[in-house]
Structure 1
Amino acid sequence: MTDTVNHPEIDNRPNAFTQSEIGWTPWLTPLEESELTERHWAGLVDASRSKSPYFMLLARDPEILEARTKTDKDIFYNTRAGLPRADRELSAAAASRSNGCIFCASVHSRFASHHSKRTADVQRLLDEGVEADLGSRRWNAVAEVSAALTATPSRFGPAEIARLREEGFDDLEIADAIHGAAFFNWANRLMLSLGEPTPAAA
């Protein structure tokens, strides 16, 4: 059985969207590195993820974590075709901004800025929300469609696809925009239900 973690009051808990690095702490007890078996290491996929309390908590179900991580990597790192990495990260940042996940928004807005060099446009998304003008029709379409999918997935359909087609997206690019938003629509809810953001580690 997983124990509940008792945390003291967190000083300066992040309460605004930011591109700065912040932390995250779980409400349940993650595994310790000394507890990891070969099965757990396989589930982590990347050994470096053993330093993350989030992934060490998810490692309690290593087979699901392995599938989750490989899906994540294929959506965001397999850029041989489809959307460039910056646009994929924008879809994740827009979903996270819409869902109110401060931690995920910080991570993926930082990646979107890094890969696009459009830090001010990304910051506008964080400051003003998914309705903000992000400096190009293409990025506005990614944010709008990601927010629509996040709000009510079952209502996502032809109108959103047409919106992306208007900006010249091909089938693979449309799939990438959907996958980035859909994955983080789920991942935000998981992270929001398992813990909370904290100030960056000193």
Structure 2
Amino acid sequence: MSVVEAGVLTHDAPHPHAFTRAEVGWLPHLAPLAEEELTPRHYDGLVDASRAKSDYFRLLARDPEVLRARTLVDKDIFYNVAEGLPRAERELAATAASRRNGCVFCASVHSRFAAHHSARGDDVDLLLDEGVGAALGERWDAVVAASVALTETPSTFGAEEIARLRAAGLDDLEISDVIHGAAFFNWANRLMLSIGRPVAPA
């Protein structure tokens, strides 16, 4: 149930109790635009018209130019896979950042993608259950460690993490993709956690 007081939403829906690959809901703290309020400028910001169904994207659509820039960056990081890191490991970087940041919603979304594209659901679940210190194998451990270093204190990320990624077999483009995926979600988690909260799956 939602109640609006002075433009701020309060909810009594239950929080999730654990990280999960199950679908998790999300509720905004501020009222998003209603679908009928969306103009061509808002739809341009959404990039995909189907995102008008999402409270999250309709809230971000209050600044459509920024939303458009954010969405195009997101799509390029995760869907432009002609070169560089496989999609599964881009999603792994996002999952690791989200797990470290405590963003249950983002972790649920990107862990599903990581499991689907890698067919390593048990390892993804281990990351969710045990945290970013879980042992997932040399390559995945290097991706997770780099993502966590960027997440915790970006300025401390550097030669050690890059050397570990190289030792695990990643080339320059793949390392760049790890950095972009983790850095984007280091920011995206904080945005999502500050403007709303996750809701427990049914």
Q: What are the superposed Cα offsets for residues 48-92 of structure 1, whole Å, 9 maximum, x if unpaired?
A: 111111111000000000000000000000000000000000000
State how far apart, in whole Å, the 2-side matches of 1:113 and 1:93 are.
Answer: 10
Same amino acid, percent of matched pairs: 67
State how far apart, in whole Å, the 2-side matches of 1:19 and 1:75 are.
Answer: 21
Counterpart residue number, 1:95: 97
CA contact (8 A) 2:9 2:31 kept: no
TM-score for the superposition, normalised by structure 2: 0.95
Query: Which of residues 28, 46, 49 in structure 2 aligns to 1:47?
Result: 49
Q: What are the superposed Cα offsets for residues 95-129 of structure 1, whole Å, 9 maximum, x if unpaired?
A: 00000000000000000001011000000000111
Structure 1 moving runs of 4+ over 4 Å: none
Distance 1:87 1:8, change over 3 A: closer
Q: Secondary structure at the match of 1:7?
A: strand
* Aligned residue identity for 2:157: F
* 1:73 partnered with 2:59: no
Counterpart residue number, 1:58: 60
Provide structure 1 residue ranges, at least 5 long, that are not aligned to the other structure: none
Query: Which of residues 117, 120, 135 in structure 2 aligns to 1:118?
Result: 120
Counterpart residue number, 2:38: 36
State how far apart, in whole Å, the 2-side matches of 1:18 and 1:58 are.
Answer: 25
Aligned residues: 197
RMSD: 1.0
Provide structure 2 residue ranges, at least 5 long, that are not aligned to the other structure: 1-5
Shift of 1:155: 1.1
Query: Which of residues 133, 142, 148 in structure 2 aligns to 1:131?
Result: 133
* Aligned residue identity for 1:164: L
CA contact (8 A) 1:43 1:62 kept: yes
State how far apart, in whole Å, the 1-side matches of 2:128 and 2:8 are.
Answer: 30
Query: Which of residues 4, 7, 22 in structure 2 aligns to 1:4?
Result: 7
Counterpart residue number, 1:175: 176
* 1:85 partnered with 2:91: no
State how far apart, in whole Å, the 2-side matches of 1:57 and 1:6 are.
Answer: 12
TM-score for the superposition, normalised by structure 1: 0.95
State how far apart, in whole Å, the 2-side matches of 1:124 and 1:6 are.
Answer: 34
Counterpart residue number, 2:200: 199
State how far apart, in whole Å, the 2-side matches of 1:131 and 1:44 are.
Answer: 36
